[in-house]
Structure 1
Amino acid sequence: MNSHDLLPVHTGTVIEDDSLTLEQLCHACGVHADWVISLVEESIIEPEGDDIHLWRFSGTCLVRVRSALRLQHDLGVNLAGIALALDLMEELENLRTQLKIMGHD
């Protein structure tokens, strides 16, 4: 693997002003709808709405899809592994936040 094979890492704060349709999410992440649907089926992301044609995705879903894409592309992680890795990363971030609040930087 060389530097041309790696996807860029984007960081920032997610602002929840609006939600994305399935098409918008796919376009923003450069992926096919089938792949996003498989992420929903694995509970990696959770859309709002019951009908696939009316699904809406939050900014948090956008971040998780991009992270999932990096895990799959860069490390070859399968969907079950992606779900576990993202959950563990989220839990670690929550624990770090709690430590900062408690004053244990």
Structure 2
Amino acid sequence: MSKSEIVVIESQHEHVLFTLEEVCERCDIHVDIIVEMIEYGIVEPVEPIEQSTESIWYFNSHALVRLQRAQRLMNGLELNLSGVALSLELMDEIEELQQRIAILSRQLP
């Protein structure tokens, strides 16, 4: 039996929020791993919403996409969480530099 994958498409609708439980279900990942990823700075919840005595974490679609990238790095390259954090940071820097290059290229005659 093959494992099915849930694909999250990044959208401009950042107002869609997912609870920690929904993220675990959608990404097929245990709560403890997500908490560790938060500690490593791999993913960040949006501001927690206080309800009674406990706070509930919410995540936007960008966080789900980032979690899926982290999972691919962990599974495909067998990286630990610190390696995943570093890889994602470098990938973010590359993406930012590519965007800057594109902007500068459009400014050239």
Structure with larger Rg:
2
Residue 62 of structure 1 aligns with an amino acid whose one-letter code is: L
Other-structure match for 1:43: 41
Q: CA deviation at 1:41?
A: 1.2
* Cα RMSD, aligned residues only: 2.5
Identify unmatched segments of 5+ residues in structure 1.
none
Residues 57-104 of structure 1 show CA distances to partners (whole Å, capped at 9, x for unaligned) of: 121111110001000011100000000000100110011011111116
Q: What is residue 90 of structure 1 aligned with on the other side?
A: 92
C-alpha distance 38-94 of structure 1, shift in aligned 2 (>3 A): same
**Structure 2: 5+ residue runs without aligned partners?**
none
State yes or no: 1:67 paired with 2:55.
no
TM-score (norm 2): 0.78
| Larger strand proportion of the pair | 2
Aligned residues: 99
Identical residues among aligned pairs (%): 34
Deviation at 1:13, TM superposition (A): 3.5
